[in-house]
């Protein structure tokens, strides 16, 4: 019996990186999966799960769109009869443009995907979890949302908002049996961080990636997926309203290499 045997889970941002690793891990632990992404590669994730003997339905869409997020919840219920776990994992970085060059539209798009998307997940997932008296909602925050030094202004603000959302939603869901927590990844090799890794490798500095954290290395998507599995499972039955940093210790100090003006 797997840790998620007999349960249904939704994961957004599952076409690659952390979302794909988590979808495969959750399925291997017995969960029936509904996975989503804007990229068609989400279908490849579903195919890999089915090839391994698991159950998966893939949907293409925008995790910051109200109707689409609701459709993910509806699909889980119609396809498998329940919804037990929802991981609002999808996000965008927005790059590192200087603050004075950023626009309101730029900020609005990052907040729409990174913060409003998780809000929609909480809203729609909790609506079907509450009558059952149980459920686990997970949101992807970031060490960039904990303090300065790990991301651009808009991205960092959006992830700080996710941390606050988890805290406030936890109390909104008081007494319902529905838990909500966040994971704050550090530097993980994914599609979002590809430019950082490509740049370091082109300069011959791959061995220095992740040197600022006490573990002295970058992380793998599977390490974030393992933390999410814990939060999704009954092993975390008394964990609620928390943000767990999985970052090699980076958030203990967030050392910064200053850019020249």
Domain assignment of residue 207, yes or no: no
CA distances from residue 178 to 171, 217, 239 in whole angstroms, order as listed: 10, 35, 11
Q: Name the band, by pLDDT with cuts 50, 70 and 90, for residue 255.
A: low
Domain assignment of residue 198, yes or no: no
Q: Choose, from 106, 155, 174, 218, the residue flagged as catalytic.
A: 155
- When pLDDT is averaged across residues 162-166 and rounded to a whole number, the result is 98
Please tell me the distance from the alpha carbon of residue 177 to that of residue 124, in angstroms, as a whole number.
16
173: CB partners within 8 A, 6+ apart:
126, 130, 179, 180
Domain assignment of residue 256, yes or no: no
| Domain hosting residue 113, numbered range | 8-191+220-245
Structural domain total, the chain? 1
Domain assignment of residue 88, yes or no: yes
Task: Please answer whether residues 172 and 192 qualify as being in contact, where contact means their C-beta atoms are separated by less than 8 angstroms.
Answer: no
Domain assignment of residue 258, yes or no: no
Q: Which CATH number covers residue 175?
A: 3.40.50.720
Domain assignment of residue 261, yes or no: no
Query: At residue 198, does pLDDT exceed 90?
Result: no
Query: At residue 200, does pLDDT exceed 60?
Result: no
Q: Name the band, by pLDDT with cuts 50, 70 and 90, for residue 210.
A: low
Q: Return the exposure string of 79-98: e unless at least 16 CB atoms fall within 10 Å of the residue's CB, then b.
A: ebeebbbbbbbbbbbbeeee
- Known catalytic residue at 238: no
pLDDT tens digits along 215-252: 888 889 999 999 999 999 999 999 999 999 999 988 88
Q: Would you state the pLDDT for residue 213?
A: 81
Domain assignment of residue 109, yes or no: yes
- When pLDDT is averaged across residues 43-50 and rounded to a whole number, the result is 98
- When pLDDT is averaged across residues 247-259 and rounded to a whole number, the result is 76
Q: Would you state the pLDDT for residue 176?
A: 98
Q: Global pTM?
A: 0.92
257: CB partners within 8 A, 6+ apart:
212
DSSP string, 105-136: HHHHHHHIIIIIHHHHHHHHHHHHHGGGT-EE
Domain assignment of residue 76, yes or no: yes
φ/ψ (deg, to 5) at 12: -95, 160
């Amino acid at each position: 019996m797997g840790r998620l045997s007999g349960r249904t889970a939704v994961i957004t941002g599952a076409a690659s990186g952390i979302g794909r690793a988590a979808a495969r891990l959750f399925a291997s632990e017995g969960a029936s999966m509904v996975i989503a992404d804007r990229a068609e590669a989400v279908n490849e994730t579903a195919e890999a799960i089915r090839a391994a003997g698991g159950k998966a339905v893939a949907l293409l869409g925008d995790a910051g769109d109200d109707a689409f997020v609701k459709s993910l919840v509806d699909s889980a219920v119609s396809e498998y009869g329940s919804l037990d776990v929802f991981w609002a994992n999808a996000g965008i970085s927005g790059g590192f443009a200087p603050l004075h060059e950023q626009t309101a539209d730029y900020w609005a798009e990052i907040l729409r995907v990174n913060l409003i998307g998780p809000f929609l997940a909480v809203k729609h997932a909790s609506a079907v979890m509450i009558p059952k008296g149980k459920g686990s909602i997970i949101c992807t925050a970031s060490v960039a949302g904990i303090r300065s030094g790990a991301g651009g202004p808009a991205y960092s603000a959006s992830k700080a908002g996710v941390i606050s959302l988890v805290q406030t939603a936890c109390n909104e869901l008081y007494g319902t049996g529905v838990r909500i927590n966040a994971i704050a990844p550090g530097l993980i090799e994914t599609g979002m961080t590809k430019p950082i890794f490509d740049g370091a490798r082109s300069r011959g500095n791959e061995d220095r990636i992740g040197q600022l954290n006490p573990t002295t290395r970058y992380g793998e998507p599977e390490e974030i997926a393992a933390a999410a599995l814990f939060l999704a499972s009954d092993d975390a039955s008394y964990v609620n309203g928390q943000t767990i940093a999985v970052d090699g210790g980076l958030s203990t100090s967030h050392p910064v290499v200053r850019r020249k003006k």
